[in-house]
Amino acid sequence: MTTVAVKPATMAQALTRAMRDAMASDPTVHVLGEDVGTLGGVFRVTDGLAKEFGEDRCTDTPLAEAGILGAAVGMAMYGLRPVVEMQFDAFAYPAFEQLVSHVAKMRNRTRGAMPLPITVRVPYGGGIGGVEHHSDSSEAYYMATPGLHVVTPATVADAYGLLRAAIASDDPVVVLEPKRLYWSKESWNPEEPAPVEPLGRAVVRRPGRSATLITYGPSLPVCLEAAEAARAEGWDLEVVDLRSLTPFDDETVCASVRRTGRAVVVHESGGFGGPGGEIAARVTERCFHHLEAPVLRVAGFDIPYPPPMLERHHLPGVDRILDAVGRLQWEAEG
Amino acid sequence: MTVLEQRGAYHPSPPPAWQPRTDPAPLLPDAEPHRVLGTDAAESADPALMRRLYAELVRGRRYNAQATALTKQGRLAVYPSSTGQEACEVAAALVLQERDWLFPSYRDTLAAVARGLDPVQALTLLRGDWHTGYDPREHRVAPLSTPLATQLPHAVGLAHAARLKGDDVVALALVGDGGTSEGDFHEALNFAAVWQAPVVFLVQNNGFAISVPLAKQTAAPSLAHKAVGYGMPGRLVDGNDAVAVHQVLTDAVRRAREGGGPTLVEAITYRLDAHTNADDATRYRAADEVDAWRAHDPITLLERELTGRGLLDEAGIEAARADAEAMAADLRARMNQDPALDPMDLFTHVYAEPTPQLREQRDQLRAELAAEREGDSR
Ligand SMILES: Cc1ncc(C[n+]2csc(CCOP(=O)(O)OP(=O)(O)O)c2C)c(N)n1
C-alpha cells in the first residue's frame, strides 16, 4: 500500500473525502442539494463529486429545502442513502416540517419497518462575517427532536470520521458543520483516516485538573485557547469536545466533572433554551456531590444573530470564558 | 397560440441550448372533466373491470360505514370517511401494479385496503395502538400522512430512486384540494417535472378543506390547471365516475412508466360525510348541496350503467352486498378485540440502537410497570 504523506488538510477537504469514500464504497449513497453539482457547493464541500460519480449521484436540485429533504425521504424509502446539503443554517428551516414530522419519525411510525438512513449536512454558526440568515446556531432545535442524531465536528479528523459514521448510520443524522472551521487546517492523512467510531462519544481534548470546559464545534478552538490563557492564572482546565449532542455522552462528561469538580459549558447559540441548559442540568443531576460550584454557561446572547460588524461582541470569546472560570471560585466566596 | 407555443415567446432571448418542450401531450386540462358512465364511451369499457370496480365500491362504502360506527363505540379515536369519494380511492388502488407505490393521506385508508392491506392494520393510526400498523414495503403503501401534502415529495423521491435503479416503478400520490395550497405540493410538482419522475398526483377535490370551500382555497380555474406552470399535463376527471377515474389514472401511470414524466390529475368529487366524525358539516354547507351530490353517487352511477346494459342483476347486487357485509363483520369482530400493547415498545423504534438516555428512561418505565404490577397483585 502506498502511503500518502501526512499533509495539511482543511475540514472542508476532509468532509469532501468522507462523501467521496462513502460514495465509492456504497453505490446507494447519493448527494443532493442546491449547487452541489457543477459548483461543488457554495463552500465547495461537494467539489468534484458530480464529476467523479455523475449527476445522478450528486444532484443539483431545484431551490426548495422541503422538496430536497422530502425527496430524500422517498429515496431512502426505496433503498438509497441520501446525503442532503442544506446551503446555510437558516435556510434549513423550510425543511423543518419534513425533518421533524417524517425524517425523525419514520422508523418509529412504522415500528422499525422503515428506517431512514438520511444524512443532513448543515453548515452552521457564525464568525465568518456572514450577513443575516447565514450564521444561525440551530442545534437546540435538532436536539429537541427525538429520532435524530446530532453531531458536530471540531477537528479535521472528526469531520471525516463523523460524516462517514453519519452516512453509515441507519438512522437520520444531522451533521452540523461549523462553517468558520471549514478552512481550519490540520496534518491529516486521507489514506489512513482515524477509524470511524460509533456516534455518541465525547473526547477529552486537553486534560486538566481544576475545571472542565464542556464544548463542541466552533467553540472548541476558543476553549483550547482559553485553557492556555488560564494557566497564567493558575487554572489547569480540562476541555471536553462533545462531538455528538444526540446521543449525549454523559459518561465522558461526568467522569471529567467528577475529577475537576467544576464545569463551564461553552457554545455560540443562545443560552436561554439552549443546549447549555440541558447539559448543565444533566451534569448537576449526576455530579451534584462532586461539584464545588454551580455549572456555568457561556453562550451567545439571546438575540437574533447580530450583523457581522457586531458579531465579535456576541460570540463567546476567551475573555468571557476566563471570566466564568473566575466565577467558579464559588466556595471561596461563600 | 397554444400554451406550448407561448413558452417560446416568454423567454426574451433563448440561449442556443434551450429547447421548447417537445412532449406532444397538451398541458392544459380539457374544459370538461372526463366522463364515461352514461355516455357512449361506456360501451367500450371492459365489463369485467366495471364489475370489479363495482364490487370494490360497495365494499368501500360499507367499510366507511363500519369504521364510522367503530368511532361511536370508542374503538377508533377518529375516522375521516371517504364516503362519496370511493371511486377515487378504489381506482387509485386498482391502477397500480404490485411493484408500484401508493402514497396516501389520512383520508385514504380505503385506497390502502383496496390495494390489499389488512383492514385492521390499515386502521391502527386511527385506532391509536400504533402510528402505522403495517410494513410499508410489504404492500408498497407509504404510511398514511397526516401533515398535508408532505407525502408528495416522498413519492417523487421514491419514483426518482426507482428510475435511477432501472425499475419501472410508478408512485401514485393522493392529496386533497386544501393540500394543494401547501408549499410541499408546489415543491413536489416542481421536482417531479424537472426530474421527469414517474409520479402521478391525484387531487381528490371534494369541495372542502374541513369547512373551507374551494373558492377560498384557490383562484385557479381548476386545480388541474396548476400543472401547466410546472410543465406537466393536467387532467380533469369526474371523480364519481369510477371508470373514468380508472381510465385517466391508467393513462397517467402508463405515461409515467414509459418515461413520459408526471401528471397532475384532479378528480372532482364530494365528501358526503362530515370531515371526520368529530366535525359538524351543517355549519358550512347546505343540505340541498349534499342531496344534489347524492344523486351523483359513484355507486349509483356505476350500478345504473351495469344494470342498464344487463351486466349486473339483483343477484349480482346482492352478492356484492353480502361480500361487503362479511368484510364488515370481520372488521367489527377483530376491532372489538383489545389490542395487545407492550409499553416497552415506546423505546424500541426510536433509533436502531437506543441512546444511553433512552436506555435510562426504558429502565425507569420498566421499574414503574413492575411497581404497578406489584400494587395490582396486593
Ligand atoms: C400541515 C397541516 N395543516 C393543517 C392540518 C389540519 N387539517 C387536517 S385535514 C385539513 C383539511 C384538509 O383538506 P383537504 O386537503 O381538502 O383534504 P380532505 O380533508 O378534504 O380530504 C386540515 C386543515 C394538517 N393536517 N396538516
Across the interface, whether the CB atoms of B143 and A110 are under 8 A apart is answered yes
Short-list B307, B298, B173, B324, CA closest to B243: B298
Cis omega before residue B233 (within 30°)? no
**Across A165-179, A224-238, B6-20, B141-155, least confident range:** B6-20
CA distance B228 to chain A (A): 17
As a whole number, mean pLDDT of residues B216-224 equals 94
Short-list B40, B17, B58, B25, CA closest to B300: B58
Q: B363: which residues sit within 8 A by CB, 6+ positions away? A: none
Q: A53: which residues sit within 8 A by CB, 6+ positions away? A: A23
Rounded CA separation B182/B122 (Å): 26
Q: CA torsion angle for B22, B23, B28, B31 (degrees, to 10)?
A: 120
Say what the pLDDT of residue B340 is: 87
Q: Which residues in chain A are closer than 8 Å to B133, comparing Cβ atoms?
A: 111
Identify the sign of the CA torsion B359, B362, B367, B370.
negative
Q: Residue B20: pLDDT above 80?
A: no
Phi, psi of A231, deg, nearest 5: -55, -40
Instruction: Ligand 1 pocket test: pick from B210, B268, B271 the residue with the most ligand atoms within 8 Å of its Cβ.
Output: B210
Say what the pLDDT of residue A192 is: 74
- Please name every residue paired with A186 in a beta bridge, in sequence order, or none if there are none: A9
Cα radius of gyration rounded to whole Å, chain B = 23
Say what the pLDDT of residue B17 is: 55
Q: B371: which residues sit within 8 A by CB, 6+ positions away? A: none
Q: Where are the domains of chain B?
A: 25-335, 343-377
Q: Which residues line ligand 1 (CB under 6 A)?
A: B 107, 146-148, 176-179, 206, 208-210, 271, 275
Rounded CA separation A267/A269 (Å): 6
CA of B175 to the centre of ligand 1 (A): 9
On whether the CB atoms of residues A268 and A316 are closer than 8 A, the answer is: yes
Q: Which residues in chain B are closer than 8 Å to A101, comparing Cβ atoms?
A: 147, 150
Give B39-44's long-range contacts (Cβ < 8 A, gap of 24+): B42/B243, B42/B305, B42/B309
A134, A149, A267, A314: the catalytic one is A134
Pick the residue whose CA is nearest to atom 12 on ligand 1.
Answer: B209
Q: What is the DSSP letter of A5?
A: P
In tens, the pLDDT along B227-248 reads 999 999 999 999 999 999 999 9
In tens, the pLDDT along A216-269 reads 999 999 999 999 999 999 999 999 999 999 999 999 999 999 999 999 999 999
Q: What's chain B's average pLDDT?
A: 93
Q: CA torsion angle for B85, B88, B91, B93 (degrees, to 10)?
A: -90
Rounded CA separation B53/B91 (Å): 8
Complete domains list, chain A, with CATH: 8-187 (3.40.50.970), 203-327 (3.40.50.920)
> Which of B100, B347, B355 has the highest number of chain A CBs within 10 A, making it the mutation to test binding with A?
B355
Q: Measuring CA to CA, how many Å separate A141 from each of A97, A109, A203, A304?
A: 12, 21, 23, 15
Is the CB of residue A107 less than 8 Å away from at least one CB of chain B? yes
Q: Residue B122: pLDDT above 50?
A: yes
Phi, psi of B130, deg, nearest 5: -160, 165
Which strand (E) or helix (H) includes residue B88?
Answer: helix B86-94
Identify the sign of the CA torsion A198, A200, A205, A210.
negative
What ipTM was reported for this prediction? 0.88
B25-335, CATH topology level: Rossmann fold (3.40.50)
Ranges of beta strands (E only) in A125-277 are: 149-151, 173-178, 185-188, 203-206, 211-215, 237-241, 244-246, 263-270
As a whole number, mean pLDDT of residues A73-94 equals 97
CA of B275 to the centre of ligand 1 (A): 9
Higher pLDDT among residues A131 and B319, named by residue: B319
Say what the pLDDT of residue A334 is: 40
Say what the pLDDT of residue B8 is: 46
Rounded CA separation B110/B119 (Å): 8
B156, with CB counted inside 10 A (0-12, 13-18, 19+), is: buried
Short-list B91, B103, B89, CA closest to B192: B103
Angle subtended by helix axes A275-287 and A250-260, to nearest 10:
60
Across the interface, whether the CB atoms of B184 and A66 are under 8 A apart is answered yes
Respond yes or no: is residue A313 known to be catalytic. no
Rounded CA separation A273/A280 (Å): 12
On whether the CB atoms of residues A139 and A245 are closer than 8 A, the answer is: yes
Q: Where are the alpha helices (DSSP H) in chain A?
A: 11-25, 49-53, 65-77, 96-98, 106-109, 139-143, 156-168, 220-231, 250-260, 275-287, 311-314, 318-327, 330-333
Give the whole-number percent of chain A exceeding pLDDT 90.
91
Which amino acid is it at B344?
M
Q: Residue B19: pLDDT above 60?
A: no
Q: Which residues of B187-203 are buried (b: 16+ CB within 10 A; e: fewer)?
A: bbbbbbbbbbbbbbbbb
On whether the CB atoms of residues B37 and B289 are closer than 8 A, the answer is: no
How would residue A1 be classed by pLDDT, with cut points 50, 70 and 90? Answer: very low
Cell of B347: 423505546
> Which of A77, A248, A285 has the highest number of chain B CBs within 10 A, making it the mutation to test binding with B?
A77
Short-list B344, B348, B345, CA closest to B366: B344
pTM for this prediction: 0.92
